[in-house]
Structures are given as structure tokens and as C-alpha cells.
Amino acid sequence: MPETRCDVTALRDALRRDRLILENKFMQHGKAARLLAAHSKLIDQYLSRIWQQMAMPAHTALIAVGGYGRGELYPKSDIDLLILLDSDPDDSLQQKLHELLALLWDIGLEVGHSIRTIAQCINESADITVQTNLIEARLLNGNASLFDQLRCAVRQHLDPRAFFTAKLHEQQQRHARLDDADSNLEPNLKESPGGLRDLQTIGWISRAATLGTRWSELATAGLISSSEARQIARHDALLQTLRTRLHYLAHRREDRLLFDFQTSLAEQMGIKASLNRRASEHLMQRYYRTKQAVRQFNTILLQNLYDYLFRETQPQHALNERFRLIGTRLEIRDEHLFEHTPKAIFELFLIMQQRSDITDLTAKTLRALWRAQLYIDAAFRRDPFNRARFMEIMRQPAGIVHALRRMNQYGILGRYIPAFGRIVGQMQHDLFHVYTVDQHILMVVRNLRRFTLTIHAHEVPLCHKLINEFARPEVLYIAGLFHDIAKGRGGDHAQLGKKDARLFCKQHRLSRDDSDLIVWLVERHLTLSATAQKADLSDPEIIAEFAATIKNDRYLVALYLLTVADVKGTSPKVWNAWKGKLMEDLFQLTRRYMKEGATTNHLDEIREQAAATLNLYAISAESYRLLWAQLDDSYFLDHEAQEIAWHTRLLAFRANTATPIVKTRLSRAGTGLQVMVYCPDQRHLFACICEFFSRMHYTIVEAKIHTSQHGYALNSFQIMEVSRSDMAYRDLMHYIEFELTQKIMQAKPVEAIATGRVSRQLKHFPINTKINIEKDKRGLYVLSLIAGDRPGLLARFAQILDRHGIRLHRAKINTLGSRAEDVFWISAEMLDNPVDTSAFLNELLEKI
């Protein structure tokens, strides 16, 4: 380090060089704890030397606080300092302190500082964050006696019980803030539930309780075992390593495991991609399993610390020879119970389901339950008693989801069902799943249970009705447990998963009928969603083909319930009312077909229903006879009767208008808008409309395109808002009607389509565009497109159709997070020519 006080450049260069040496050494040995301690020591040396060179007064002290105070200084973290004074500073001292801090910043030290007296420190420590920093204070240089006075004052004013309560409340608020879908995909290594802050919280409370701060010290105090202390240390080390490497990769203080860095982190840590999974997915699985373990240890230690600090005497009540109640918490009477009586493991969960007065488990029981996974072996899994107990848990009227989640949290579910254990913590970078596979599976079971509750009946009323009429609903919960259990193995996970489901049903002695249904549900769990969102539900043949795959009404109801629960459990952003309507429509159409068979006069029936609705508005058949004569049969087959009636009311007396007619109404799906466009047909019309809605940040989820016999376009769109707008719906509807009309009247081709920004997830985990085209029975070509979703995608597609003279008849747009899975019904003579078709598809692959 340079000796000259004013040589800022030399100090800055030396600091940069010394930090680079530390980084290079870390990249060689990979031990984060060693790096953090070495970095803290290095900064200690610079600060002490500068403090001395600045000749700071003898009645002051330079103190490290926060993470720096405990000797864990991350590469890009702020350096938290307290400058302690014996009295308020005069002008001369204030000037000297200003020069000191300016110098520290000039040489590249990003310091967070406070300048206080002891009295001010104690006064400010009413803030739990300040108090936490002070209990980790460490003297760097200056007046040691003054520092000792501060430590004594902090200790005297520290109430361990109040400190525990405040830190627990702080953790609960932090978890509530960060335990969401976005944080799950790109977790904060420091702040997210199961992150470093959860471990630090234990350390702070333990320090306040004078129990020590190291995991080995907590083991000595009896709060955890030596084995548990070693496990926590390993998880702590992984989180420290990830955060350290993340700082170096980002070249800034970045604690979020962003998509931008996940692949690079995996590469740095020597994690390789496997045949079926990315290296980043393997890395994230390691992280999620550590996160789960940290949350578990955090829960156990907080319970133990609570018992140690508060030592409350609570009433005890024996439930049987194995369990008792202490207050409202369940406790095992022998801490080795699960070791010598493994059968009691499932009994514990059953008791919690059956006793609503039990709120939690004691710390002693939590620790035993964590160790209990070791006793679930092949013999345990083969035991008919344990199998019967597990099924008893699945058949309880309440508490099923809580039981399964707790089993998963303690590693028990994955030990009992080994196939489930393999997908614990497994993330899928498929651009629409935001939960790990095990979280998603349990979310699906949770959704199925949620359907049963009257308090949530308004969410999906049909599901509430159906599931409460469904005999033996455990069939659905088991199907939910197994529907994605084979993810990540390669091959068709539905086909692989049905084998696991079949084995489970056989082992647990389910009836033949229930076993067959569960296996069928696992195998077919994707079909209803795919058909509803990608097929033309107005085609009776589609309904007949789908119905032919379903054995009976019980199978149909089960598949519908599982499908809705599955889609709702994928991501909060994937489910919407439009998807719900499509699935319900398919369910109702299939159910009707299975009961009544094919309708021979479906076209006449639609016309009659539309006419009956129009009659309610006193609109005579004669007034719309000419309009209907211009519309071919495909129009009536493609639309519901209420849509036809709406169109007819708007157009019956204006069928030959030269002015475009654009009308909107609230979608009958419950969200979004339905837009009708009627005008003399023109080239570029569909591209123009797509570009208009893209610019408004609306997405088209369905388009029905028709051209009348007298050359008018009658197009109907279902649109959904991408981002929340402050504009009232009525104002928005008026805006669309006026502005879109003006745009159509201009009849200009769309030239430049705004592409917008690609999501970071799509940027780092791109989707290879896939296109398939085949002819259907009606002579139309069905084009299926899978691509990364981005602004302007549909408008660019429409432009390409225009260039090739291809007519669009219908489109179903399905967006799954950042993944687009769209289906288009198109026609053109050029599509009958393989060469022209190939050129068209190549342009799509190049420009979409």
C-alpha cells in the first residue's frame, strides 16, 4: 500500500490490484468463506492505514458494522462503517471527517457510513436494523475504550426476547415480499426465503442470546446436533459461493440469480448439461434443495431459540403413548420415536389432519422429523401398514395439501415415492413454468383441494360443482401427484409417469377402476388443454374425435378438473379467463356429444338460436335476411349463436356500407374485449389490425376471419390486455372503435412493425421456432407455430401471409409465459405447390 497520504491514484490502483489478486485466488480455490475473510482483512488494512495517515483525533473510533463487521465482506458489497465520537463534532472535526470519507470514495471504497456518539447509537437502536448492525460491531482503529463503552451500552439495552420478536417479524415481512413467482425464477441469494438472510437471522438472535454465532457453537449449546451443524455449514457455503461468484460475474453488487448469469455460474462451478437438462437447470436444482434445507433449519432453530428465550410453561396433554400436546403444538414423547418406530411418521401427519387444535410442531419434533427421512427405506415402503396409512392421509377431508407440503419440506415424500424425490428442486427453463416440478405438482393438488372449498367457489364455479359431486376425489389428488413426476428423464413424461402411477396404484391396492382412471389421467393430462387451445371447437368432427378418447363422464370430469388445476398451477400469468372459457367450452361440448351423440342439423340449430336472440330485440327475420344470405355456412359454424346475434344487430341495416364498422364489447369470457371489424375487404387488413393491437399492448387470443359473398371482411377478435392500463374500459372501447376505424380507412400497408424488447428469459433460454403445416378434412391448411413470444410476432406473421397472398380464416393464439403456441387455418393455391410452400415456411423461420 502506498505510504503517501495524498496519492489517491496510487491507493486506488493498489486497491484494485490487491482485490484482483484475491479474485484470482478465489477462482483457483473456490472457497467463499476464505475469500470473504481475506477481503475483510484487506479492507481493514487500507482503512486502518488511511485512518492513521489522516491523523484522526484520539477521542474517535473507526468501527466496522453489518456484514463487514462480522468479517463477511462480499466482493461488491458496501463497506458499512460507524465513526464513533465521544461528543458532537465541531467544525474542524466535521471537515476532517468529510475529507476522510471523500478519500475513501476516491480510492474506490463504496462506504456506507454513520457518525454518532454512544448516546445517539443507543437512541437509533430502537430501529431493529441499527440494533442488528451494532451487535456485530468490530473495532478497526481508534479509541478502544470508547468502543468498549459502546459495546457495554448496546449489551445493556439489548432485550433478547424483544430482539427475537422483532427479527421474526422482519423475516416474516421479507418472506411475504419475496416469496412470489418472479422471485422463484430469479431468486435473491441474500433476501429470498431460504437465503443467506435466514441463516444470518439465526446468527443474530443467537448472538443476542449469548449462545454464539458459529454453527458448532449452537451444537454445543444443544440447539442442533453436530451432524446438523455440518449440514447447515455446507448449505451456508454453497450460498456464499454462489453470491461471491455472482458479484464477480456481474461486476456489481448483484444478489439475484438472474437468467443472465445462471449458465455462466454453472459453467464456473463445473456443472455440465445432461442429455435432457441444461447446466443451469442442474445448478438451480442444487440451489432449490439448499433453499429448502435452509428454510427447514431456520424453522427448527427459531423454535429452539424461542423455547430457550421464553421458557414458557404450557399445559401438556398426552394423546397416546407416542404423542402429546404442549399448548397447541404436537410433540413426540421420545426423541428417538421415528428411529425405533418408523410407522409413527405417517401417524404424525394423520394426527395433524384430524386435530384442528394443533397449530404446529415443537422444535424437538421438527428435528426428529427432519432425521426421519433416513428411516424411510425399501422395507418401510413395502410395509402394507405404511401404504394404508399414506392412503388414509390422501382420503382425509382436510389437511391433505398441508401434509404433503410438510412431507416434501422434510424430505419424507421424496423418500417414500422415490420418483418424486428425483424432481425435488428441479426447475424447467421452458419459459412458462415458474415453479420447480415438485412445487408445481403440489400446487396442482392444492388447486384441486381449493375447488372443493365454498369460499373459493367463485374462482371456477364449474370446478367447484363438479369436484363436490365426484366420488373418491383422492383419485384426482394421486393423479395430480404423478402427472409430471417423470419430468427431466427424457422422452414423453406422460408415458413414463403412467408407469410410476400404475406401480403406485398396485402397491397401494387401489381398485381396478380407480387405478385405470389415475393411469389414464397421467397419460392424457395434456390433451384437453391442447385441444381446447389449438383445435377448432366449432368443428363437430373435432369434438367427436376428442370424445372418442374418453371412456365415460367420470373420465371427462376428472380430466377437466385436473387440466384446470394443472394450468392454474403452472404460473399466475399463464391462466386467464379466456383459457378457462375454451376449456369449459370443450368440456361442455364433449359432455353433450357423449350424452346426445352428433347433432345432424347443427347449422340449423345455430341459426335458430341466433334468430331467437334477435327476436328478443324485436329484430325481424326479414331485416337480416339479405345479410345472412351473404354469409356462408362456415361463418355460422365458427361462431356461437350469441356472437351471430351481436353481429347481426350491428350490421343488419348497414350490410353495404363503405365506411368500416368497428365495435367492441366486454368479452363473455369475463376479461378482455371482443372486437368486430366489418368493411370492404382489403389486402393488409389483418396485418393492420394486428399491428394496431400490438401497439396498444393488447394480445389477440383468437381471430375469426370471414369474407362475405359480396366482398366484405367480417372479422372477430378476442383481445386481452398484456399490461394493466389506467384507462377505463368504456374509454378504451371508444378509443379502439375510433382509432382502428381511422387506420382501416387509410388502407395503407404496414411497413415497420415495432418489435419491442425480448424478455431476458427468452434471451438467455431461446426457443427454436417450430412450424408444422398439414391439410385438414375441410381443405384448409392448419399451420402450427411454436416460437418465443415477443411484441409484434403476430403482426409480422400477418405481413408474411400478405406477401405470399395467403388467406387467413382463423387463428388461436396461445401464450404460455414467453412461449407462443399458435394455430392458424389458412388457404392459398400456392400451398398446393411444395416449392412455394417451402419458400413460405423458410421465410417464417427466418423472420418470426
Which tens digits make up the pLDDT trace of 776-800? 888 899 999 998 888 788 888 988 9
Structure confidence at residue 668 as a pLDDT band (50, 70, 90): confident
User: CB of 434 within 8 A of CB of 181?
Assistant: yes
Give pLDDT, residue 4. Answer: 42
User: CB of 447 within 8 A of CB of 411?
Assistant: no
Sign of the dihedral through C-alpha 233, 235, 238, 240:
negative
Which among 185-194, 196-205, 776-785 has the top mean pLDDT? 196-205
CB atoms within 10 A of CB 647: 23
Would you give the DSSP letter of residue 223? S
For residue 604, give every residue at least 6 positions away whose Cβ sits within 8 Å of its Cβ, in sequence order, or none.
Answer: none
pLDDT digits over 586-639, tens only? 999 999 999 988 766 778 889 999 999 999 999 999 999 999 999 998 899 889
Give pLDDT, residue 10. Answer: 92
Closest by CA to 54, choosing from 97, 118, 10, is 97
* The pLDDT of residue 209 is above 50: yes
* The pLDDT of residue 271 is above 70: yes
Q: How far is CA 12 from CA 106, 107, 518, in A?
A: 7, 4, 67
Rounded to an integer, what is the distance from CA 504 to the centroid of its chain?
29
Dist CA 453 CA 458 (whole Å)? 10
Dist CA 475 CA 554 (whole Å)? 11
Dist CA 151 CA 450 (whole Å)? 53
* The pLDDT of residue 182 is above 80: no
For the chain, the average pLDDT equals 92
pLDDT digits over 630-666, tens only? 999 889 988 999 999 999 999 999 999 999 999 999 9
* The pLDDT of residue 1 is above 60: no
Give pLDDT, residue 424. Answer: 94
Give pLDDT, residue 431. Answer: 58
pLDDT digits over 133-167, tens only? 999 999 999 999 999 999 999 999 999 999 999 99
Once rounded to an integer, what is the mean pLDDT over residues 705-720?
92
User: CB of 556 within 8 A of CB of 462?
Assistant: no
Give pLDDT, residue 487. Answer: 93
Percent helix, percent strand, percent coil in the chain, to nearest 5: 55, 10, 30
Give pLDDT, residue 517. Answer: 98
Dist CA 437 CA 442 (whole Å)? 9
* The pLDDT of residue 549 is above 60: yes
Least confident span in 553-562, 711-720, 756-765: 756-765
Structure confidence at residue 311 as a pLDDT band (50, 70, 90): confident
Sign of the dihedral through C-alpha 736, 737, 738, 742:
positive
pLDDT digits over 677-703, tens only? 999 998 889 989 998 998 888 888 889
Structure confidence at residue 735 as a pLDDT band (50, 70, 90): very high
Classify residue 645 as left (phi > 0), alpha (psi -120 to 50) or beta: alpha
Structure confidence at residue 178 as a pLDDT band (50, 70, 90): confident
For residue 105, give every residue at least 6 positions away whose Cβ sits within 8 Å of its Cβ, in sequence order, or none.
Answer: 111
Give pLDDT, residue 181. Answer: 58
Once rounded to an integer, what is the mean pLDDT over residues 799-826?
87
Give pLDDT, residue 429. Answer: 66
Give pLDDT, residue 430. Answer: 65
* The pLDDT of residue 314 is above 90: no
770-775 and 111-117 beta bridge pairing: unpaired
Structure confidence at residue 2 as a pLDDT band (50, 70, 90): very low
Once rounded to an integer, what is the mean pLDDT over residues 335-340?
95
Q: How far is CA 631 from CA 618, 706, 707, 712, 714, in A?
A: 22, 8, 8, 10, 9
* pTM for this prediction: 0.88
Would you give the DSSP letter of residue 625? H
More confident residue, 381 or 722: 381
Dist CA 460 CA 440 (whole Å)? 19
pLDDT digits over 105-141, tens only? 999 999 999 999 999 999 999 999 999 999 999 999 9
More confident residue, 597 or 530: 530
More confident residue, 669 or 415: 415
Give pLDDT, residue 435. Answer: 87
Q: Kind and range of the H or E element at 79?
A: strand 79-85
Print burial letters for 723-743: b (CB count within 10 Å at least 16), e (below 16): eeeeeeeeebbeebbeebbeb
Give pLDDT, residue 518. Answer: 98
Dist CA 297 CA 304 (whole Å)? 10
pLDDT digits over 358-380, tens only? 999 998 999 999 999 999 999 99
pLDDT digits over 393-436, tens only? 999 999 999 999 999 999 999 999 999 999 999 987 665 677 89
pLDDT digits over 826-838, tens only? 999 999 999 999 9
Q: How far is CA 623 from CA 259, 611, 617, in A?
A: 60, 11, 12
